[in-house]
Structure 1
Amino acid sequence: MCGVIGFNWKDELLLNQMCKAIKHRGPDGKGIYLDDKVSLGHNRLDILDKSGTDKQPMSDENNAIVLTYNGRVYNFPQIREELIAKGYKFKSRSDAEVILHAYEEYGTDCVQHFNGMWAFCIYDKTKNMLFLSRDRFGIKPLYYYFDGERFIFSSEIKAILEHDVPRKENRGVIFDYLYFNLTDHSEETFFKDIKRLMPSHNMIFDLSDRKLKISRYYDITKNTVESANDPGKIKDLFTDAVNRALVSDVAMGSCLSGGIDSSSIVVTMRNIDPDVQIKTFSMKFPGEAMDESLYQRAVYEKVNSVNYGVTPQPSELIEDLHELFMTQEEPFSGTSVYGQYRIMKLANETGIKVLMDGQGADQVLSGSSYFNGYYYYEMLKQFDVAQLFREASQYYSKSKSLIPLVYLGLRMTPGELKRYLYNHQKAPYLSRRFLEENADREDMRRHISSLQEAAYSSILFYAL
C-alpha cells in the first residue's frame, strides 16, 4: 500500500507533517508537489518498477497534470499498449504512468478502463481542478474534509487530523455502530465532518469556486452477468484474477485460514507457477475448537509452501491495543480484525510486502448464516417447506447451529417489532437521551427483501 495526501493551498511544512503521519503506508520513499494552489504528497511502497522512474507525485511530459496514487491497476499492460498505439510515450513500467496517460486520453472516464484497486488524486492545471477516484469495491481507502474553503484528503484520517480541524464525535455513526452493529456503511465516519469517498465514486473539486461534485461511475446491480452461476466461468474468472494480481517486482505471500477462500487462492497460485516459492501465514489455536491447523496443513503441504503461524495471547492483545486502534482509526465489530492485524505483522517480519487474501468470498458467494436466512425466506415464500426443512437440517447437522433460522425469524419480523426488540436488548446499555436523539436513524438492511439484494448490499459495503 502507499499513502496519498493533499489540500487546496500551499504549505510545505503541513504537507510533510501529513506524510509523516502515514509514513507506515509507504516506507520506501516520500514525494511532494507544491504550487500556489495545491499541496500533494505521496508515501511509496515499492511493488512495481523499483528503478525509481515512477516517483510520485508524477507529472505528465507537459507538467499539466499531476498524480498521487495508491493501488494496483491489474490490466495496466493492456491499457499501456493501447495508449502507445495512440502515440503516448512512457518512461517507466509502472501502472501509475498508465493512469496519468489514460486520464489524458479519456478524462474522468479513464476509471471505466481500469481493472483493479485504487485511490488517487489527479491535479489538472488546465481545468483548475482536482479529480479523485476510489475503486469499485472500496479496497483502497480515501478520506476527505471540506468546510467550504479548505479541502483536505488522505488515505487515512490521522493525516487529516494534522490540520486544525474540529475533532468531534459523530453521534449518529456511533449510534449505528452500537445499535445496529454497522460500520463503513455510509460516507460518514466516526469523526464529524470527516468523510470517506464511497466505493465506485469519483469526486471533482473545482479550485476556482471551491465546489465539490461527487458522482457514481459504477453500479454492481446494473452489471450482472448471465453466466454467473456457471462453475467453469467462475473458475476461469477466479484464476484470471489471481494471475493478474501476481504481477509484482517483490516476493508475494498469501493468508491461509484453512477455509475455501484462501485455500483456493493458494492452490491457484501454485497452479499458475509450479516453481515459485509461496509463503503462507495462518492463525493457529492449538487444542481449541476453532483451530483450523488441520485444514491449513492439508493445503500448504499440497502446494509445498512455507507456512508461518501465530497464536495471539490475551496479554498480547492488551499490549497491542493502542497500536491496533491507531491503525484501524475507527471502532470495529469483532476480534477477527486483531487476527488480521497479527497476520499482517507476521508477514512484514518475514519480509513480505504483498499478501493475497480471501476476503469477500462469503459475500460474493452468499456463504454465511446471514445469507442463509434470506435463502430460507425465499423458500418459505414459495411454500417449499420440505426443502427448507432439508436445508436447515443439513446445516444443523454440520454446524450444530440454528443461527440461519434466527436470521429467518428477523427477516419475518415487522420493523416496529424489531425496533422494540432492539430497544429491549440494547437500551439498558444506552442512555434514553441517546436513543431519542437517534430515533430517526434506521438499519440500512431493513429494506432488503431478497437473497440477491442481500448479496449486492454485502458486496458493496462489506466484501472488501
Structure 2
Amino acid sequence: MCSFLVTSWLISNLTAVNFFLLPRGPDGTRSLQKGPFTFVHNLLHMTGERVWQPFVEDKVVAVYNGEIYNARQVPPGFEGRHLYRSDGECLLPAYQHLGPHFPQALDGEFALVLVDFELQVAVLSTDVFGTKPLWWKAKLCLDQLEPQVALLRLGIPESEIRAARPNEVMQLTLDFKAEAPQLGAVGVSGVSHYAIHEFDLRQFKDSTQDWQTAFRKAVWKRVAASNRPTFVGLSSGYDSGALHVALEAEAAPHSVNYFTVAAEELPDLIGRRLSHNRSMSRAFLLSLSLQDFQTERDWLNLASEPFKYGKSNWAGGSVQEDGAATGLSAIFRRCRESGILVYVSGAGADEIISDYGFQGVKFFPHSAFGGLFPKDLSSIFPWPSVFLGTQRDYLMKEEVVAGSHGIEARYPFLDKQAVQEFLWLSHTAKNQLYKRPVHEFLAAVGYPFDVGNKDGFAAGRNLKLWGTTAMEVIYDSLMPIPARSPLDQLESRSCILGPGFRSGSWQRARSQLVAFLSTPEDDVEAVGDLGAALVAFSSQADMLRESEPCAMGELCLQLLVLLLLEPSTKSLQVRFERLEYLVPQIFSLPWETVIMSGWPLFALLVRVAHEVAIDVDPIGSHMVDSDSTERAATMEAALAIVETILQVSDSSKASMRQIIPSIQLVQAKMAQCWMQRGDLHAMLLNSRMFELLTLLETLSKPHYRVNLADAWHLA
C-alpha cells in the first residue's frame, strides 16, 4: 500500500495535495521532476529491502502501488530477475522486454504509471479487478495519481477526473509542449486500450478441487514474502472461514492475527472455528462502544478520501456512511498501533461466486441474476459486479479505509487463477450449493460454518452503550484455553439470536428497550419513536413465543408495559392485583446471566419501584423499611456483597466468571426473602431491595448493547 502522483501541472502546495496520499505511504516521500512531469511517491515498506520510488532507468520512469507476486518471473528470460531488491523493480525490465503491454505479464494487485520520455509514451494500468485505485484527468491531458481528492486539490475540476477501468491497460501517445511542469505542458495525441486478462468462459469441471488448490495458492502468495504480521476479520461467514483455514495451512508461525467484532457474529461458532487453529496465532474480540463508533465515523469523514457508492448499493451513499467501513477502521487503527500491517480481505467472493444470491433468489437488491448461473456463461459475463458495481464500491471501501491507516489490503478471492477455476465449473456445479467451492473447502476439514446464510458486516449493531471499546484476547496459541462456563452460551440464553442463529427480533427489541430507558425524557421525538416501536413489538410477542421463546425478553416487556401505564393504574396493578407471577419469574432467571445479557431487567424494576413509591407517598421518602431483624441482616449482607463486586470487578467475561458464585449467593438470599411472600408491591417498596436493584442495574450497565439505528441520538 503506497501512493503516488504523476502530474504535468505545477504543484504549488505539496502538503495539501499529498494530504490523502500520505497515510497510504507513511514510511517516506520522494519526488522527482523530469521534463514536464513531477513524480511523487509515498512508501509503505512491506517486503524486501526498502527501495524508493520512482524507478528510473535512462529516459523511462515508473511508479506503482501494490504487490506483484510473480516479480521474480518477469520478464521471462531476463537474467537480472534474481537481483530485484523489491517486486516493483520488475516494472522497467518488463517494459523494455515486453513493451506497453507489459502489465499483462504481471500477477498481483497494483496500480502503475510509466512514462517513456524518449518515445513520448505513457502506460497506465491497474490489475484485473482494479483493486488499487488509480484516477486520471480526462480530456486528453495527462495527469495520473491516486486518490481522486489529490486531483481536486491540484485544481482539476471533478467533471474531468476519471477512474482507470479495471482489466485495462491504457497507452497514451504524448505531445510534450514544455520542458517543465506547467498548465498545458503535455498533450495527448492518441489513446490505445488493451485487456490485461481474458477469462475463458467454458464451463466443464464438476469438481471444486482445482479451485480449492488455486485458492490456497492465492492466500499463500499474499503472505509468503511479507515481513509484516497478517490479520483477518474472522466472522461467522463463509469467506472469512475460508481465509482462516487457508492461513492456518499456509502462513508462517506467529504471523497471523484474527479480529472479530461483537456485532452479529455467532460467539459459539467463532469459538469452534478457533479450535481449528494450528499455527502460532492470536484472536481478539472487539466490542465497540457507541461513542467510539461515532468518533471513528467522524474521523473517517475528516481523514479518508470521500467515495460515493453506486445508486444500487444498499449499504449507504458512500464509504463514510457505511457502518462496515467504521468497523474496519476501528480494527485497522488497533492493528496499525501494533505493527500488524497486512490485511487479507474476503472482498470479491460474493461478487464472483454467488452474485449475492442462490438459485435465482436475490439476497440483496443489487444482485444481477440471483446466483443462478446459466448454461452459457457468455450470456451474462461480465455481470455488473464482476468488475464494477459493488465490486468497485467495496474494493474502494477496503482501500480507502485501509489506506487511511497505512494498512495494505490483499484480495485472494480475486486472484485471477482462482477466479478462472470458478468460471470453469459447470453451471450445475455452481448451482448445486450456495458458494459450493467455499462450502466444500470448509467441509473437507470439518470446519464449522452457518450453511446457506449470507449476512453483511453489521458493525453498527450491538454497540456498548456505556464505557469505551473493549478488546479481549479470545485465543492465544501460547496460553491455555479457559474452561467454558455458562456465560459462553450467553447469547442463546438471552435470546438475542433468532431461530436461524442470526440476530433476531428480540435483539432489536433489547436494543430499543435499552435506548428507550437511556433517552432523556425531554427528547420527546426519540422517546416517542422508541416507545411506539416497543409497544408494537410487545403486541407481537405472543406470536414469537413458539418460534423465538425468550423468557428474559418477555419479562422485560411485561415490566415495560407496566411502566407505561398511568401512575394510578400502575399502582393498582402492582398493589391489588399483586402480579404474583412476576416474582418467581424474577428469581427464576440466573441473575449473572441477566447482568451479562444486556437486558435492562434491573433498570425496569428500579423505574417501576420508583414510580409506585411516588404514587404511594408523593412527598415522602417513598421507600419503606419494615423488614424483620433476620431479613434486614440478610439483605444488608447481600448489599455488601454487590457493593464489593462493583469495587473489585470489571465487565469482562473473565471477571464475570469469578463473581458468578457471589451473584448466585445474593440471588439465593433474595429468593429466600421474597419468594414465599410473592408480594411484588412490598418488594418494590422495600428500601434495601430498591438499593440492591439499583446496584444490580449499575453492574448491568457495562453490558448494555444498542444498535446505531436506535441510539444514534445518544452518541
Give TM-score scaled by structure 2 length: 0.47
| Partner in structure 2 of residue 459 of structure 1 | 386
Q: Name the counterpart of 2:102.
A: 110
1:155-197 Cα offsets, whole Å, 9 max, x none, are 211211221223xxxxxxxxxxxxxxxxxxxxxxxx4322100
CA distance in 2, matches of 1:274, 1:35: 42
Task: Evaluate the alpha carbon distance shift between residue 38 and residue 455 of structure 1 in structure 2; reply closer, same or farther with a 3 A threshold.
Answer: closer
1:340 corresponding residue in structure 2: 328
1:266 to 244, 251, 259: 244
Deviation at 1:279, TM superposition (A): 0.9
- For the residues of structure 2 that align with 1:206 and 1:298, how far apart are their CA atoms? 57
Q: 1:258 to 1:100 in 2, by over 3 A?
A: farther
Match of 1:197 among 160, 164, 175: 164
Q: Which residue of 1 aligns with 2:152?
A: 161
Aligned residue for 2:111?
A: 119
Report deviation, 1:226.
4.2
2:319 is the counterpart of 1:327? no
Q: Corresponding residue for 1:35?
A: 34
Report if aligned partners of 2:72, 2:82 keep a CA contact under 8 Å in 1.
Answer: no
Larger Rg: 2
Q: Which amino acid aligns with 1:299?
A: R
* Change beyond 3 A, Cα 1:78–1:450: same
* AA matched with 1:458: S
Alignment check: 8 A CA contact 1:76 1:114 kept: yes
Counterpart position of 1:245: 222
Decide whether aligned partners of structure 1 residues 92 and 78 sit closer, same or farther in structure 2, where only a CA change above 3 A counts.
closer
**Aligned equivalents of 2:42, 2:331: Cα separation in 1:** 23
Task: Indicate the residue corresponding to 1:184 in structure 2.
Answer: none
> Which SS does the other structure have where 1:291 is aligned?
coil
Contact 2:2 2:42 in 1 (8 A): yes
- Listed as ranges, the matches of 1:125-140 within 5 Å are 125-140=117-132
- Structure 2 segments unaligned to the other structure (5+ residues): 176-186, 310-315, 317-321, 396-715
* Partner residue, 1:236: 213
| Structure 1: gaps (5+ residues) | 167-190, 377-391, 393-402, 412-444
Paired positions, count: 360
Quote the Cα distance in structure 1 between the aligned partners of 2:140 and 2:213: 48
Confirm or deny: 8 A CA contact 2:68 2:107 kept in the other structure. Answer: yes
Cα distance in 2, alignment partners of residues 5 and 32 from structure 1: 9
Q: In structure 2, do the counterparts of structure 1 residues 236 and 225 end up closer, same or farther at CA, with 3 Å as the change threshold?
A: farther
Q: Is the 8 A contact 1:31 1:42 kept in 2?
A: yes
For 1:254, the equivalent position in structure 2 comes to: 232
**Structure 1 equivalent of residue 283 of structure 2:** 307
The one-letter amino acid of 2:88's match is A
RMSD over equivalenced CA pairs, Å: 2.9
One-letter identity of the residue aligned with 1:132: L
After superposition, the Cα gap between the structure-2 partners of 1:275 and 1:225, relative to the gap in structure 1 and judged at 3 Å, is: farther
SS of equivalent to 2:122: strand
Indicate if the aligned counterparts of 2:100 and 2:171 stay in contact, CA closer than 8 A. Answer: no
Is residue 317 from structure 1 mapped to residue 317 from structure 2 by the alignment? no
Matched with 2:354 is 366
Structure 1 SS opposite 2:124: strand
Task: Summarize the Cα distance change of 1:13–1:258 in structure 2 as closer, same or farther, 3 Å threshold.
Answer: same
Question: Against the structure 1 CA distance between its residues 124 and 17, is the aligned structure 2 distance closer, same or farther, given a 3 Å change threshold?
Answer: farther
Taking structure 1 as the reference length, the TM-score comes to: 0.70
Identify the residue that residue 257 of structure 2 maps to in structure 1. Answer: 279
Structure 2 CA distance for partners of 1:29 and 1:215, relative to 1, 3 Å: same
Q: Percent identity of the aligned residues? A: 21
Whether contact under 8 Å (2:149, 2:305) holds in the other structure is: no
Change (3 A) 1:274 1:201: closer
Q: C-alpha separation between the residues in 1 aligned to 2:308 and 2:138?
A: 23
| Equivalent residue, structure 2, for 1:98 | 90
Residue 269 of structure 1, CA deviation: 1.5
State the 1:340 CA deviation.
2.3
Aligned to 2:135: 143
CA distance in 1, matches of 2:196, 2:30: 31
Distance 1:38 1:265 in 2: 42
Matched, 1:357 2:330: no
Structure 1 outlier segments of 4+, above 6 Å:
none
Does the Cα contact within 8 Å between 1:14 and 1:162 map onto a contact in 2? no
Against the structure 1 CA distance between its residues 264 and 112, is the aligned structure 2 distance closer, same or farther, given a 3 Å change threshold?
same
Q: In 2 relative to 1, CA 128–274 (structure 1 residues): closer, same or farther, beyond 3 Å? A: closer
Q: For 1:139 and 1:112, how far apart are their aligned partners in 2? A: 15
SS of 2:65's equivalent in the other structure is strand
1:18, 1:331 → 2: CA distance? 20
In structure 1, C-alpha distance between the alignment counterparts of 2:28 and 2:107, rounded to whole Å:
26
CA shift for structure 1 position 309: 2.8
For residues 40 and 271 of structure 1, do their structure 2 counterparts lie closer, same or farther at Cα, with a shift above 3 Å needed? same
- Kindly provide the CA deviation profile for residues 310-339 of structure 1, in whole angstroms up to 9, marking residues without a partner as x: 233333333233432341412343422222
Q: Distance in 1 between matches of 2:206 and 2:147?
A: 37
